[in-house]
Amino acid sequence: MLGWALIFVVLALVCGALGFFALAGLAAAIAKILFVIFLVLLVVGFAMRAFRGQPPV
């Protein structure tokens, strides 16, 4: 539990630094790109499992 708390503290500090130094727009653009990439990978993964005849988990 303490490990999760430390992770969220570090995440909050990074987000705060990005917001205070006007890099929030850049971080949002990167997040959008990563979202699309991982969404495509998710669909490809489901398609590969379907072609192999395995259930979609």
From first to last of the 57 residues of the chain, give the pLDDT tens digit.
Answer: 567 778 888 888 887 777 777 677 777 788 888 889 988 988 898 888 889 887 766
Domain regions of the chain by residue span? 2-52
Cβ contact 49:56 at 8 Å: yes
Q: Coil, strand or helix: which one is 46? A: helix
> Whose structure tokens read 């708390």?
5
Predicted pLDDT at 56? 65
Is residue 18 within 8 A of residue 24, CB to CB? The reply is yes
* Contact by Cβ (8 Å): 51, 44: no
Whole-structure pTM over 0.75, yes or no?
Answer: no
Say how many C-beta atoms besides its own lie within 10 A of residue 27's C-beta.
Answer: 14
